[in-house]
A = this chain, B = another copy of it.
Amino acid sequence: MEKKMVETAREELQSIKLDETDNVAVIVNEKGGCEGQSLSDGTILRENVPQCHKVALEDIATGSPIRRYGKIIGYALQDILRGGWVNEFMIALPNAPELKVNSAASEVQMVMPLSRAYTFQGYRNPDGTAGIRNILGILPSVQCVVGVLQQAVKILRQDILKEYPYVDDVVVLNHNYGCGVAIQAPEAKIPIQTLKNLAVHPNLGGELLIVGLGCEKLQPNCLIPDGTNPEIIVLQEKNGYAAMLDDIIKSAKKCLDRLNKRRREKISVSELTIGLQCGGSDAFSGITANPAIGYAADLLVRSGATVMFSEVTEVRDGIQLLLQRAATAEVEKKLIVEMQWYDHYLTLGQVDRSANPAPGNKKGGLTNIVEKAMGSIAKSGTMPIVGVLSPGEKPNRKGLIYAATPASDFVCGTLQLAAGMHLQVFSTGRGTTYGLAMAPVVKVSTRNELKDKWRDLIDINAGPIATGEASIKEIGEEIFHFILSIASGEKETWAQHWNLHNDLCLFNPAPVT
């Protein structure tokens, strides 16, 4: 042990300071920094500091601000000497920023279109949208039918899907809603709108089979998308289990027949909708993976595509940064309305934004929600924000969109799907096995060590940005081109390869009855 520490001490100690005004830096080396090692600015470590964690670059007196990303992430709860480890127990959370508009539009930059018009090989849907997968979606109107539905889908997947080589999958849009819920409650519009929008997801090729029980609150006809004519099966109308199975399979086959005739064609990248998310974040997320994803987001927006970022509790403390990028006064206003809605929602539940971050974030060096927010926002790139979505809504224009959702990975994923997301780019520092059945999820690691450990789960590694082996631009371009390959069906993500996905999880702030 003694020997090992000496060896570590001999290694060059790498650290990252993000802004000239920062008074902390983050340790890059996998084994962390040891007492006595020096940073490039001459700071000498007073104690061992783990990887991703912060070191004071100057003496910080009790009550003084601690700065990272050029932003105050908190105030010292004790005197911290230069070279000391700055951990979560030493930092007081600042008050949440006030929700007010201040001279916004001034800082909004122009979108410069890319000189090259990128395309991908996708599916043209009957409603004019484009898809990147050719999936049969089956929507239960209520959880009670899911037992029967899963048995039918088992048969469809095992015995029938092979007759339809151009269809990618059969997916049950499984959810816990539909009955025993107050569908007239004001906030019930969120889960209901979410289900209606999931039903017309562009990766479902314009086909839909709805399976209802018959007596449920949320009747199947409440879920029929405008201008469509889905197959509907009501179990209470059937003569027993065998008839239910037969009829579900018969209706599914009608949809599969139509889906199987579809072929990929050349489609402009401007028709893509890409969702961005992070989960299991660490202090590298805001340095490596998220800025690289932000670079890719800029390329997508400049190609005319739609890009969504989300997670209210993770932008709340950086809201001024978003307000500065609002393209219109309407966007500014809706950003504030969504933050206020969420503040109120948390207050009703007697909690506040300090409920985020998670234990793993803290282990990963993320002290509090302010620091986490700064890193999280980095993945939105630099383009102006042209739209804001309430939970369950879909964008009505292209460009960079802020989709207000909880930060919960699976709730955010479900809401981004409902907003029409074709594909999600997901950065992770600690690692997560999260995935979605309706859209590929591209995993981007923040550190080399995670990619080394999870070779068969991480799609792209942004770790070389921290070690200086790659630039944000290089990894950003890699992400952009990987997105196009996945969208074209030329490559697959690891999660697709292993068929790993989470369940849908509706956001329902209304009562269960």
Taking CB atoms and an 8 Å cut-off, the chain A residues in 186-243 that contact chain B are 186-187, 213-217, 219, 235-236, 239-242
Q: How far is B512's CA from A187's CA once the two chains are assembled, in angstroms?
A: 14
Taking CB atoms and an 8 Å cut-off, the chain A residues in 164-198 that contact chain B are 174, 176, 179-187
Q: How far is B219's CA from A433's CA once the two chains are assembled, in angstroms?
A: 16
Taking CB atoms and an 8 Å cut-off, the chain A residues in 18-47 that contact chain B are none
Considering only CB atoms, which chain B residue lies closest to A346 in the complex? B511
Copies in the complex: 2
User: Is B409 a contact partner of A144 (Cβ separation < 8 A)?
Assistant: yes
Residues A456 and B242 in contact in the complex (CB < 8 Å), given A180-B409, A498-B151? yes
Chain B CB within 8 A of A411 CB: yes
Considering only CB atoms, which chain B residue lies closest to A507 in the complex? B512
The segment from A61-69, A93-101, A299-307, A354-362 found at the interface with B is A354-362
Q: Nearest-CB distance from A206 to chain B (Å)? A: 27
Q: How far is B412's CA from A197's CA once the two chains are assembled, in angstroms?
A: 28
Cross-interface CB contact of A358 among B146, B216, B498, cutoff 8 Å? B216
Chain B CB within 8 A of A365 CB: no
Contacts of A457 in B (CB 8 A): 240-241
On chain A, the number of residues with a Cβ less than 8 Å from chain B's Cβ atoms is: 82
Considering only CB atoms, which chain B residue lies closest to A235 in the complex? B433
Q: How far is B234's CA from A280's CA once the two chains are assembled, in angstroms?
A: 13
Chain B CB within 8 A of A494 CB: yes
Q: How far is B26's CA from A58's CA once the two chains are assembled, in angstroms?
A: 83
Q: Nearest-CB distance from A21 to chain B (Å)? A: 30
User: Is B144 a contact partner of A407 (Cβ separation < 8 A)?
Assistant: no
Chain B CB within 8 A of A72 CB: no
Considering only CB atoms, which chain B residue lies closest to A279 in the complex? B144
User: Is B453 a contact partner of A406 (Cβ separation < 8 A)?
Assistant: no
User: Taking chain A's interface residues, is the majority helix, strand, or loop, or is none over half, making it mixed?
Assistant: loop
User: Is B513 a contact partner of A216 (Cβ separation < 8 A)?
Assistant: no
Taking CB atoms and an 8 Å cut-off, the chain A residues in 393-448 that contact chain B are 406-412, 430-435
Contacts of A358 in B (CB 8 A): 179, 215-217
User: Is B176 a contact partner of A505 (Cβ separation < 8 A)?
Assistant: yes
Considering only CB atoms, which chain B residue lies closest to A511 in the complex? B349
Cross-interface CB contact of A502 among B147, B215, B430, B510, cutoff 8 Å? B147
Cross-interface CB contact of A355 among B143, B185, B500, B507, cutoff 8 Å? B185
Q: Nearest-CB distance from A348 to chain B (Å)? A: 6
User: Is B236 a contact partner of A360 (Cβ separation < 8 A)?
Assistant: yes
Q: How far is B143's CA from A351's CA once the two chains are assembled, in angstroms?
A: 22
Residues A147 and B236 in contact in the complex (CB < 8 Å), given A179-B358, A348-B511, A510-B351? no
Q: Nearest-CB distance from A346 to chain B (Å)? A: 5
Give per-residue flags for A239-270: 1 if the beta carbon is below 8 A from chain B beta carbons, else 0: 11110100000000000000000000000000
Q: Can you name 6 extra interface pairs (CB under 8 A) apart from A145-B433, A176-B505?
A: A146-B503, A147-B501, A182-B355, A183-B355, A215-B364, A345-B511
30 residue pairs bridging A and B, Cβ less than 8 Å apart:
A143-B503, A144-B279, A144-B410, A146-B503, A147-B495, A147-B498, A147-B499, A148-B433, A179-B409, A180-B409, A181-B408, A182-B351, A185-B350, A185-B351, A185-B355, A213-B280, A213-B430, A215-B359, A215-B363, A215-B364, A236-B430, A241-B457, A349-B510, A355-B513, A407-B513, A408-B513, A411-B512, A503-B503, A509-B511, A509-B512
